[in-house]
Structure 1
Amino acid sequence: AKYTGSTKESPNGLGATLQTIGSSYISLLQTAVVPLIFTAVVSSISNLRQVSNAAKLAWNTLLWFAITSLIAVLIGIGLGVLLQPGANTGITQQAKYSGKSGDWWSFLIGLFPKNFLGLGASSTVTEGANAATTVSTSVSFNVLQILVIAIAVGVAALKVGKAAEPFLNLNASALAV
C-alpha cells in the first residue's frame, strides 16, 4: 500500500493521497462552520421572544460565565506559579518577543466584514519542477465577524416580529440539517 500511486516526484503515493483526502476533508469542515455558527446564533436570538424571563436568564448566564472564568483563571495562575513554565529556558533579553499590539479603532473596524458573512477564498498557483503546476485554494473566515452579522440578523428578525417567521423557519430547518 505504501507504493500505491507513487511517481518520481512523490515516491510515497499513499502519503500524498491521504494528505489530499485529509486536507479536502478539513476544508469541507471549515466551510460547514460558517452556516452552523450563523444559523445557531440567529436561531438562539430569535427564540428569546419565547422566553418570558430573558433578563433573569441573561443574569444567570453571565453569573455562571464569571464563576467558571474565575475558576479557570485561578487554576491557570496556580499552575503557572507551581510549574513555572519557561523558568530554565535561558532566553536572553535580546531574544525576547517584544509583542505586537493594535489599537481599538482597528479592532472595531475589523468586526464588520467586507462581504456578507465575512467569507474569503484565495487560490495560489505554484510552478514546480518539470513544468508541473499546483493550484491550491483556501477558504478563510473571521468568526467574530460572523457573530456580529448573525447577532444583527437575529435582532432584526426579533424586532420584525411575525413577518420574519418564514425566514426563521428556513433558518431553523438549515440548523436542523
Structure 2
Amino acid sequence: MSLTKKILIALALGVIVGIGLSFSSPDLFHGVNKYALEPVGQIFLNLIMMIVVPIVFVSIVLGTAGLGDPAKLGRIGMQTIVFYLVTTAIALSIGLGVGYLLEPGKAGVFDTSNADYSAESPPPIMETLVNIIPSNPLEAMTSGDMLQIIAFAIFIGVALAVLGEKTAGIYRLFEQANDILIFLVNGIMRTAPYGAFALIASAIGDAGLDALGSMFMYMVAVILSLIIHGAVTYSLAIKGIGKASPLKFYKEFFPAMSVAFSTSSSSATLPVSMKMAQERLGVKKSISSFVQPLGATINMDGTAIMQAVATVFIAQVYAISLGFNDILMIILTATLASIGTAGVPGVGLIMLSMVLKQIGLPVEGIALIIGVDRLLDMLRTSLNITGDATCAYIISEHDKRIESKKSKSKI
C-alpha cells in the first residue's frame, strides 16, 4: 500500500476516533489523550522538528550555491516575494468576499459578554527586517529563527558559488549532509500515518462537537475560501504559468498536504514538502531549496483567509459595519503583516489582532473563534505549503524554459 493511502486511512480513522472520544466522558478522553494520542503525536512532531533546522540550512546553502549567479538569485528572490504578496492579497479578497456572502456572524446570535482575549504585541516590521541578519548564527539555529537561518545560509551559499573550486570539498560535504537528511526524512515518513492518526484524533476529541456546531457557518466560510483559493488561484498559476495539469500537481503533492494537515506546522512539514516537490513534481533542487523554506516562513495564504473571514465574522457579531477604506486596510495590513510577523509563535492570531486594532474592531472577539482554530489551522497549513510548492514549481518550470531557449540558440 502506498504511503498516500496509508495516511488517508489514518486520517479517516483519526476523525472517527476523535468524534467517538468527543461523545465519551471527559475522564476517558483525557486518559486516552494523555497516555496514547499525545505521546504518539508528539513523537512524530519531534522526529520531524529534529531535522527542520539542519535541512533548511543545508538545502538553502546548496540551493544558493547551485544557482551560481548572484543576479539569478536576486531574480528568483524577487519573483518569489512578488508571487507570495500577490497570492496573499488574492486570498484576503476571497476570504472577505465569502465572509460577506455567507454572513457567519449575524448579530445577536453569539454571546460576547464573556469574550476575553489578551492580544500579544508583534515586533515592529522594521525590527523584523533588521533582525533578519543574525548577530549569532548558532543562536539562531538553536532557537529556530528561520529568517535568520535562511539569511546566513544564503551568505554561505553565495560564498561557495563565488569561490568555486577553492571550496569544492565543503560543497561536497554539504551534498553528503543533504543525502543523510533525505535518508532520515524517508525513514520518518514511514511513521506519518501513526502521527497523523494521533494528532487528528486528539484535535477533534479536544474541540468537541458542541464547539463545532456553534461555529459551523464560520468554519464553512473559512473552508470554502480555502478551497476556492486552492482550486482557482493556484490551479490557474499551475496551468497558466507552469503549463501543467493542476490535478496531477495536487495528486503528486498530496502526501505533504496530509502531513501539513496533521501537524498544523509549515516548518515541520518542510522536509516532506521539499521532498515531494523535488522528487514527484520535478522542481529543480536549487529552486526548491530556496523558495520553499522562505515560503514556510513568510507565505501564509491560508492564514490570510482565516484573518479575512474572522474579521468579517467579528464585525458582524458586534454589529459594526466596515467601509471600503476598512476593506482596503484589512488587505494592506494583513499582507504586510505576513512578512512583518514571520517566525513569531501563534502568528495567525497575532496578525489577526493587528488587523482588528487597525480598523477599530474589538480584539476580544478572537475568543469566539479560538475553540475551532486548531482544526482550521490544519486546513490552512495545508494550503500554505501548497502555495509554497506552487511558487517553486512555476519558477522552476519558467527557469527550465529559459535554459532550453538558451541551449537551442547556441545550437
Provide TM-score, normalisation by structure 1: 0.59
Secondary structure of 1:174's counterpart equals helix
2:131 corresponds to which residue? 109
- Tell me which structure has the larger Cα radius of gyration: 1
2:175 corresponds to 1:156? no
Would you say the 8 A contact 1:112–1:145 is kept in 2? yes
Separation in structure 2 between the aligned mates of residue 23 and residue 157 of structure 1, nearest angstrom: 37
* Structure 1 or 2: more strand by fraction: 1
Q: Which amino acid aligns with 1:38?
A: F
Separation in structure 1 between the aligned mates of residue 149 and residue 70 of structure 2, nearest angstrom: 24
* Structure 1 or 2: more helix by fraction: 2
* 1:119-160: CA deviation from partner (whole Å, max 9, x where unpaired): 43xxxxxxxxxxxxxxxxxxx522222212212211222232
- Deviation of 1:26 after TM superposition, in Å, equals 2.0
Q: 1:158 to 1:14 in 2, by over 3 A?
A: same
How many residue pairs match? The answer is 147
Secondary structure of 2:112's counterpart equals coil
Q: Is the deviation greater in 111-120 or in 42-51?
A: 111-120
* 1:42-92: CA deviation from partner (whole Å, max 9, x where unpaired): 111111127996666556545544543343232222223334455554436
2:178 corresponds to which residue? 175
* 1:155-176: CA deviation from partner (whole Å, max 9, x where unpaired): 2222322212211222122223
Separation in structure 1 between the aligned mates of residue 141 and residue 69 of structure 2, nearest angstrom: 32
Q: 1:153 to 1:34 in 2, by over 3 A?
A: same
1:128 corresponds to which residue? none
Q: 1:58 to 1:102 in 2, by over 3 A?
A: closer
Q: 1:100 to 1:59 in 2, by over 3 A?
A: closer
Would you say the 8 A contact 2:58–2:178 is kept in 1? yes
2:52 corresponds to 1:49? no
Q: Is the deviation greater in 64-73 or in 150-159?
A: 64-73
Separation in structure 1 between the aligned mates of residue 93 and residue 33 of structure 2, nearest angstrom: 47
- Deviation of 1:96 after TM superposition, in Å, equals 6.1
RMSD between aligned alpha carbons? 3.8
- Deviation of 1:38 after TM superposition, in Å, equals 0.9
1:32 to 51, 54, 57: 51
Q: 1:99 to 1:85 in 2, by over 3 A?
A: farther
Q: Which amino acid aligns with 1:103?
A: P
Q: 1:85 to 1:166 in 2, by over 3 A?
A: farther
Unmatched 5+ stretches in structure 1:
1-11, 121-139
2:140 corresponds to 1:118? yes
Provide TM-score, normalisation by structure 2: 0.29
2:149 corresponds to which residue? 146
2:169 corresponds to 1:166? yes
Identical residues among aligned pairs (%): 23
Would you say the 8 A contact 2:61–2:154 is kept in 1? yes
Secondary structure of 1:102's counterpart equals coil
